[in-house]
């Protein structure tokens, strides 16, 4: 595909909130000691991977992952607020079990004072449109959150939001997506 952009997705590294089973949402969060080690491993794993740029959520846990992973490298790094997690509004920082139970009801209905999952995925779609337009034919790394990965799965692979919410996130060391600007919707679907 001539206009394809390869998007390599990695989640932010393990945070102190992950240790405490807290759904951080739009709160900044900080990496745990384990998370800092995993971030360094991410950098080692992606060094020499043919990346042209790194894009990261601007939330601290993702930005810290990026700083640790790519310290001393010459890759251009961009922080982008559109790569943030879903905004849980007044529930940012709530127990993860409470947030998991709440997700199905928040597909199209926003969290109190926050956004819906559909709105979060639309926000990431704006980023995807920009990156495929400006980094056409290139290989970029994106460091984000559940909402970031779900947007890729939804808009690139056609997986419904309902199916994504019902399934396990299934963490692994990176996902790779071939994204074309012509293949992205002009509005959320």
| Tokens describing residue 47 | 């060094």
85 is catalytic: yes
**Is the pLDDT confidence value at 13 over 60?**
yes
Average pLDDT over residues 28-39: 97
Task: Map out the domains of the chain as residue ranges.
Answer: 4-182
Identified catalytic residue from 10, 12, 64, 115:
12
How far is Cα 118 from Cα 189, in angstroms, rounded to an integer?
9
CB 152 within 8 A of CB 128: yes
Residue 186 binned pLDDT confidence (cut-offs 50, 70, 90):
low
CATH of domain 4-182: 3.40.50.1240
pLDDT digit string, tens, across residues 151-171: 999 999 999 999 999 988 777
Identified catalytic residue from 10, 64, 85, 115:
85
**Please, which residues bridge with residue 53 across strands?**
140
176 is catalytic: no
pLDDT digit string, tens, across residues 65-104: 999 999 999 999 999 999 999 999 999 999 999 998 999 9
pTM: 0.94
pLDDT score of 24: 96
pLDDT score of 187: 55
pLDDT score of 189: 45
| DSSP code per residue over 33-57 | HHHHHHHHHHHHHHTTS--SEEEEE
Question: Residue 121, Cα to own-chain centre: how many angstroms?
Answer: 10
């Amino acid at each position: 595909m001539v206009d394809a952009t390869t998007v390599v997705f990695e989640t932010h590294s393990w945070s102190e909130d992950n240790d405490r089973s807290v759904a951080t949402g739009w709160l900044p969060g900080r990496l745990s000691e384990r998370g800092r080690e995993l971030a360094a491993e991410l950098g080692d794993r992606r060094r020499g991977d043919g990346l042209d740029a790194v894009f990261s959520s601007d939330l601290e846990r993702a930005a810290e992952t990026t700083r640790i992973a790519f310290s001393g490298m010459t890759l251009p790094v961009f922080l982008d607020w559109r790569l943030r997690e879903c905004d849980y509004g007044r529930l940012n920082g709530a127990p993860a079990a409470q947030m998991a139970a709440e997700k199905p009801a928040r597909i199209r209905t926003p969290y109190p004072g926050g956004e819906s999952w559909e709105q979060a995925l639309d926000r990431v779609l704006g980023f995807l449109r920009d990156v495929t337009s400006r980094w056409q034919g290139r290989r970029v790394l994106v460091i984000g959150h559940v909402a970031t990965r779900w947007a890729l799965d939804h808009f690139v692979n056609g997986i419904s939001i309902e199916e994504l919410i019902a399934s396990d996130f299934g963490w692994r060391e990176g996902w790779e997506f071939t994204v074309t600007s012509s293949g992205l919707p002009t509005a959320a679907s």
